[in-house]
Amino acid sequence: MGSCGSSSQVPVVVRDDDRRVGTLASGFTNLDLGSANATMPIGYTPGVPLTVTIAVTPPASVSAQAVEDTPPAGWTVTNISHSGQFDNVNHKVKWGPFFDADPRTLTYQVTAPMGTIGVQTFSGLASFDGVDIPITGARSLTLAIVPAPAGISPTSGPAAGNTAGRARTFR
């Protein structure tokens, strides 16, 4: 990497399904592994759906690709694009296999259950001809707004109206 006036070769270690290890022959200059990049809002509100978008760009030489993403446990998943499916057993959104090298923008919606708090994390992989790469980009959300309990609004209860300068007694 960089331009320091010399070139160096970096061995690339590969592992097959039987856990055998080998090294790719040297001589390649640019190894395109493809990419999968997620975008989503920075925050979530329990009970309000939000959209997760994954831009998938496989290498041009790919003949098969698939993607899977894991939302936080207990979140509801809906509106999965590109004939994707939700795997209830493994709690994953899955697309493919697609037998081409076409880039795709995959989407799905998630809804955090009421009572969810804190930072929530997503994880996933894209697979190009069996080579798995992690989905990068936006992979976590923070709590944005906590909805008011049912029956409470700015126009009801003790916070309603202008009470400045007046004492109130609650029994």
pLDDT digit string (tens) for 6-41?
A: 444 444 555 555 554 444 444 444 568 899 999 999
CA dihedral 109, 111, 117, 122 (to 10 degrees): -30
User: Regarding beta strands 136-137 and 35-39, do their DSSP bridges make them parallel or antiparallel, or are they unpaired?
Assistant: parallel
Q: Which domain holds residue 116?
A: 33-143
160 within a domain of the structure (yes/no)? no
Q: Which residues contact 163 (CB under 8 A, 6 or more apart)?
A: none
Query: 76: domain CATH number?
Result: 2.60.40.10
What pLDDT score does 145 carry?
74
Cα 66 from chain centre: 15
pTM across the whole model? 0.70
- Predicted confidence at residue 148, as pLDDT, reads 64
Residue 37 lies in a domain: yes
In a domain, 9, yes or no: no
Total number of domains constituting the chain: 1
Structural domain includes residue 60: yes
Q: Cβ(125)–Cβ(33) under 8 Å?
A: no
> CA-CA distance, 64 to 99, in Å (whole number)?
4
Q: Does any domain span residue 10? A: no
- Answer whether residue 56 is part of any domain: yes
The residues of the chain scoring below 50 in pLDDT are 1-11, 20-29, 156-171
**Residue 82 is assigned to a structural domain of this protein:** yes
124 with 56: CB under 8 angstroms? no
Q: 151 in a domain, yes or no?
A: no
